[in-house]
Amino acid sequence: MSGPPFESSTPIVIACAAAAGIAGFVWTRVQTKLWLAVAAVAVVAGVAALLADRFAVTDREFLEALFPRLAAAAERQEIDTVLAAIDPDIRPVREEARRVLAQVKPKEVRITRLKVSVDRAKQPPEAVADLIVRVTGNLLEPAGGQGTGLAEVRVLLHKKNGEWLVRDAEADQARPGQP
């Protein structure tokens, strides 16, 4: 699985800060320009890693941010926003999403667990998102009516024309206390 060299700059920044601190300490003892240069390079490398992490968004990071935005759109009844994230060529999934959102009319949608894995080796790249979602609104099952339900959702996505789109989704009722 290829991709970016790192998802988080924290370990790199910590290593660079430690190297700069050690080089700075040695420089204060021996007063040679080499140790000052090593400290400066370590600081520059740490700042560069921090900036790269800040401005470069990996596919996994993008998808982790996508699902809370879709949950907020569902709460606001913005069905078109949710449907825009679904591949237009896969009509059954789009129609099912439209039907469920119209029936449930969610008042609150909260993602309580989100795990995303991306496989860039496949063409087109694919991803799987496993979520546990708490929805308050009209329940479809078991008895219907207003209430709150937990759903364990598995979403399959693929990258099409540079955009991540939902290709399939499966939902099962989740029991409270499940890991």
Whether domain 59-173 has CATH 3.90.550.10: the reply is: no
pLDDT, position 106: 84
Residue range 126-151: mean pLDDT, rounded? 80
Question: pTM for the full model?
Answer: 0.70
pLDDT, position 143: 58
pLDDT, position 162: 86
pLDDT, position 147: 79
Phi, psi dihedral angles at 120 (to 5 degrees): -85, -5
- CB-CB contact of 60 with 129 (8 Å): no
Q: From CA 148, how far away is CA 106, in angstroms rounded?
A: 9
- Helix 10-30, helix 33-55: angle, nearest 10: 170
Cis peptide before 124 (omega within 30 of 0): yes
Per-residue pLDDT for 179 more than 70?
Answer: no
Band (pLDDT 50/70/90 cuts) for residue 14 is very high
The lowest-confidence range among 19-23, 57-61, 173-177 is 173-177
Per-residue pLDDT for 19 more than 60?
Answer: yes
pLDDT, position 5: 54
pLDDT, position 1: 38
Average pLDDT along the chain: 86
Domain extents for the chain? 10-55, 59-173
